[in-house]
Chain A
Amino acid sequence: MAAGGHGADRRGSRTAGFINNPEVRGVLFQIAFLLVLCWLAWDIFDNTVRNLQKANIASGFGFLDRTAGFGIVQTLIDYNEAHSYGRALLVGLLNTLLVAGLGILLASALGFFVGVARLSSNWLVARIATAFIEIIRNIPLLLQLFFWYFAVLRSVPGLREKWTFLGIFHINIGGLHIPRPVFAEGATLVGAALLIGILAALIVARWGRKRLDATGKAPPSGWIGLALIVGLPLVVFFLTGRPISVDMPVFNDQGPLLRRGFQAGSGLTVIPEFFGLLLALSIYTAAYIAEIVRAGILAVNHGQTEAAHSLGLRQNQTLRYVIVPQAMRVIIPPLTNQYLNLTKNSSLAVAVAYPDLVSVGGTVLNQTGQAVEMVSIWMIFYLGLSLLTSYVMNIWNRRVALVER
């Protein structure tokens, strides 16, 4: 009996030892936590579905196939009222991507420029840059958006008039009217030629760098690349019988007032809502990027500049080859944040009638009444966009990060 009791004790202490093992415990607690989290998520989902049913509110994603029935002012893909809600949302998503993508490019260029300008030894330039940053950063984006939109609207001629630049750019309150390229059969070959040209130019540039490293002489790879990118598609363009033509915007200044102005369906129109939003987003984000760039440059030890100067590098060479490459390590992580912010801020578009994902989604929501589904679509799209941006920026960050040997 004593022996049996002893054995039981030992077994008990072995189990206790198993539970007391910190590693085992850690895993157990994590599993338990995960289960609770899953249960909570399921419960919220299940509860929502049941309550929607109880309140007689339609649910499910079936509405995406139904006819949308409303028009959208800017569509990058073919769309009309007879298309589905799903297609309308895709149009909105592409509009978001367009303004966010261009906004990121513009904001980066302007931000780098202002950031460097703020560090300029020229008193006036530095002060102007400082004033720009302080003013822009301290005014809410929505107000700036209204300012730029209505500034754009009120400073251009009305629908029946126009300003013309270089013969092909026409501006009025309806937007920027430019010739639209029309692609006929064979246009894909020209596109392919352009792609091949770009690839070839990249290979030439690499070869040029190798030559520079090996011999100290730089071959004119820039010019060769340009010739490849422009020349190759041009040759193919003429060989295939000019498959790309342009459709000019038609301006009518005769007849009844409503008929005058640019005719719908002719040329390409870039709407003022797009310009207003793009300007506001780029300028607002540029102010933040400028500060990040300044911080990045200041983070590079002044000794580096002195060393570069003592090697005989000129000021702009020092900036380009010594300071900026090192500053990028500091700049990129916070820059990612700004890119994400810009993309998310683009959802203010609806305030100035730019048909982005939120604007189009809002109309879909109102017509179908399916708020839960629509809000989840919004969340998934923005989450996806943000994760994608982070992913790309992380790859870039890894490339410029300090490699320790």
Chain B
Amino acid sequence: MKKIIASVIAGAAMLAGASAAGAGTLEDVKAKGFVQCGVNPSLLGFGSEDQDGTWKGLDIDFCRALAAAIFNDPTKVKYTRLNAKERFTSLQSGDIDVLSRNTTWTMSRDSSLGLMFAGVIYYDGQGFMVKKSLGVSSALELSGAKVCTQTGTTTELNLADYFRSHNMPYEVVAFEKNEEVLQAYEAGRCDAYTTDASGLYAERLKLQNPDDHMILPEIISKEPLGPAVRQGDDKWFTVVKWTLFALLNAEELGLTKANIDEKKTSDNPEIKRFVGVEGDFGTAIGLTNDWAYNIVKDVGNYGEIFDANVGPSSKLGIARGLNNLWSKGGIQYAPPIR
């Protein structure tokens, strides 16, 4: 709350000065020596901080990939903890360089918020979690249910739309932070807990007996999550966008953290362009030509970070599904580097 007001006032008072002084976000980032990344502090698999202060998650690894592309050093990132309500103001006012916080790409955010989404890092959708003992097997049976959720997100609107379109009464109890949503749900204040399905898998792990709860099969909305930047800085937008594409292209080309050094000498022209042996793709976007090589070497490819953070082998155990590459039955598809 305080943060919003502070940043609004700061934004109002100083925007003119700031925009006149800053040549461009990329130059600013290079000058200060780190990427300021707005992240979720408490969503397992996407953004969370360990007890010893190390950050983990898919969104975190994107920030690290960005730092690797610019500085060849994935540690040159500073994280700003943001709740759902603060995130856009923080980006608009220039507090952060990029918002990588499981944020849904919607039209109103592209238009009236002055944001640009650089792509989709995770195709998500809103779902419901209920206690197994409730004996419900479909979201369509939730008529009259009390539903807990977090305020300041698109979930409240999706929830209302879904229940209204199916003519089902409901009651929404909206908390500020997801810790309280989970506590209230566990205490039995609500019949169901709704948020993005990936979030439900993460939250379920925090419950005392995760096996007593189930995630209903219905996905009631499209939630393409991706990193966002401010409008009007095309250079920075291009860097963020291509960092995401590089992660995806690396997986498609079979380049991993382990084999990239060996593949660097490959005769495959696509790989040659990717690692910067051929062409000037890196310098063309204001980076060095080995930018994409650094991303994979320092952080890994998309498949690797997906598996490490949310995939079947991680605690969350989410299948690749829609997030698989287009060539493997999913819809993740990146334009080629050429």
Contacts and interface: CB of A to CB of B under 8 A. Distances in A.
B135 A371 contact: no
Contacts of B108: 367-369
A138 interface: no
Interface stretch (B150-158, B214-222, B265-273): B150-158
A150 B144 contact: no
Given A153-B187, A353-B151, A365-B4, 12 more contacts: A52-B114, A81-B160, A153-B184, A154-B187, A263-B144, A264-B171, A351-B180, A353-B148, A358-B1, A366-B84, A369-B109, A375-B4
B85 interface: yes
A70 B149 CA distance: 12
Nearest to B134: A257
A69 B160 contact: yes
Nearest to B94: A55
Contacts of A256: 135, 141
Interface stretch (A43-51, A300-308, A323-331): A43-51
B156 A173 contact: no
Interface of A: 44, 47-48, 50-52, 54-58, 69-73, 81, 146, 150, 153-154, 158-159, 173-174, 256-259, 263-265, 271-273, 347, 350-353, 355, 358-359, 362-363, 365-372, 375
B5 A375 contact: yes
7 contacts: A47-B15, A173-B187, A362-B151, A365-B85, A366-B88, A368-B108, A372-B12
A52 B231 CA distance: 11
B58 interface: no
B173 A73 contact: yes
* A-B interface, 9 closest residue pairs, ranked by CB to CB distance from nearest: A58-B112, A51-B15, A369-B113, A57-B114, A56-B114, A48-B12, A70-B156, A366-B152, A55-B114
Contacts of A351: 175-177, 180
Contacts of B109: 369
Nearest to A154: B187
A58 B88 CA distance: 13
B208 interface: no
Nearest to B172: A71
Interface in B230-264: 230-232
B89 A51 contact: no
A352 B164 CA distance: 25
B78 interface: no
B17 to A, nearest CB: 9
B146 interface: yes
A50 B113 CA distance: 15
A299 to B, nearest CB: 36
A353 B173 contact: yes
Contacts of B191: 159, 258
B48 interface: no
A100 B297 CA distance: 57
A71 B136 CA distance: 23
B174 A363 contact: yes
B16 interface: yes
A370 B92 CA distance: 11
B326 interface: no
Nearest to B109: A369
Nearest to A347: B1
A57 B113 contact: yes
Contacts of A355: 174
Nearest to A368: B112
A44 B175 CA distance: 34
Nearest to A146: B180
A355 B176 CA distance: 11
Contacts of A372: 8, 12
A381 B142 CA distance: 37
